[in-house]
């Protein structure tokens, strides 16, 4: 029943949007794959939970699903960070490289409050008004793989939908090998399956120091990225998790970006480092009608108290 309702809602939104959109709009889709050639220093990246377990959106009320409107399929994850704004990966939105993407914001729909993509009584939906990928994004290396999505309307805050707590300031010392974090998404749950999961999953992954990560990816790992995963493999983000959150101690610290395969040995996942981009996020949001990400003291206390009670 929910699947039928979901299809009707998306189809209705599509008809309304088509009436108001440019008739010359074209859509471009390119299947993501992944190959690594160390001699040629070239990569193709998977838009990449393996080794995790099902979870409930009430535990991570900031996570959203970015649907492709005309397919009715989950495309990427994202995090609700400000009224009308979702944080995701640039490669989920930019029509370059090797990714399933569309050329216009109207092709995307935001769903929130969802644990199961095929059934939930409390979902919220919003069309996308604009997308803002980082101007320095490189589709070949995935440097600056970060973007903001502006929705037509804000989501209503509830126990199923809420804002992601962001880092207060850049802090490289925060990323140490003793830190255990959580990656969340609707991506593939097995390297032998080729479809994303209907159910929201999460997995615990240890952070890997920058110096150690550079041993795995000597040509491609930058200061704007962090690594997480197990040396022996077995747990990782995978296809369909792109743009979703990496959370450490209740704080959104990373955005699922890329990796070599899924959950392979000596192949940790790479994430865009959120604290590195705080000023970019703030500037991009505020000049496009949003509020500042830098909260006042009382707002900050509220967020931390809220997540303390959720997790403890």
Give which of 165, 75, 160 is closest to 123, Cα–Cα: 160
Whole-number Cα distances in Å, 117 to 72, 75, 152, 305: 10, 12, 21, 29
Among residues 62, 218, 201, 245, which one has the least CA distance to residue 228? 245
Q: Which of 92, 97, 167 is nearest to 133 (CA)?
A: 92
Residue of 74, 75, 91, 99 marked active site: 91
Is residue 145 part of the annotated active site? The answer reads yes
Q: Verify whether residue 242 is a known catalytic residue.
A: yes
Q: 195 by DSSP, 3-state: which?
A: coil
Helices of type H across the chain? 2-20, 210-216, 278-286, 297-311
Instruction: Answer yes or no: 275 catalytic.
Output: no
Using CA atoms, how far apart are residues 302 and 312, in angstroms rounded to an integer?
Answer: 15
How many other C-beta atoms lie within 10 A of the C-beta of residue 97? 19
Is 176:170 a contact under the CB 8 Å cutoff? no
CB 12 within 8 A of CB 109: no
Q: What is the DSSP letter of 167?
A: P
Structure tokens at 211: 């110096």
Q: Which of 145, 220, 224, 241 is catalytic?
A: 145
Options 79, 126, 197, 242, the catalytic residue: 242
Instruction: Give the residue among 255, 217, 48, 27 at the shortest CA–CA distance from 137.
Output: 255
Element (H, E) at 207: strand 201-208
Which positions are annotated as active-site residues?
A: 91, 145, 242
């Amino acid at each position: 029943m929910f699947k039928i309702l979901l299809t009707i809602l998306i189809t209705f939104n599509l008809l309304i949007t088509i009436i108001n959109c440019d008739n010359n709009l074209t859509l471009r889709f390119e299947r993501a794959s992944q190959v690594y050639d160390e001699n040629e220093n070239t990569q193709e990246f998977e838009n990449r939970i393996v080794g995790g377990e099902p979870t409930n959106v009430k535990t991570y009320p900031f996570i959203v699903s970015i649907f492709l409107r005309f397919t009715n399929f989950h495309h990427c994850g994202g995090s609700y960070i400000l009224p009308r704004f979702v944080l995701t990966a640039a490669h989920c939105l930019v029509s370059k490289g090797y990714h399933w993407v569309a050329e216009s914001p109207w092709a995307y729909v935001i769903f929130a409050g969802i644990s199961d993509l095929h059934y939930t009584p409390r979902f919220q939906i919003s069309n996308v008004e604009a997308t803002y990928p980082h101007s320095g994004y490189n589709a070949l290396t995935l440097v600056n793989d970060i973007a903001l999505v502006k929705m037509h309307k804000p989501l209503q805050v509830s126990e199923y939908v809420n804002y992601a707590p962001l880092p207060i300031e850049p802090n490289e010392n925060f990323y140490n090998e003793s830190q255990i974090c959580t990656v969340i998404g609707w991506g593939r749950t097995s390297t032998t399956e080729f479809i994303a999961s209907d159910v929201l999953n999460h997995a615990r992954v240890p952070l890997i120091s920058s110096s150690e990560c550079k041993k795995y990816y000597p040509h491609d790992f930058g200061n704007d990225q962090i690594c997480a995963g197990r040396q022996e493999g077995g747990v990782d983000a995978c296809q369909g998790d792109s743009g979703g959150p990496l959370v450490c101690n209740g704080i959104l610290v990373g955005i699922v970006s890329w990796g070599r395969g899924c959950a392979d040995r000596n192949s940790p996942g790479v994430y865009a480092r959120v604290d590195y981009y705080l000023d970019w996020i703030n500037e991009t949001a505020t000049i496009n009608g949003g509020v500042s990400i830098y909260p006042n003291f009382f707002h900050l206390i509220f967020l931390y108290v809220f997540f303390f009670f959720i997790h403890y």
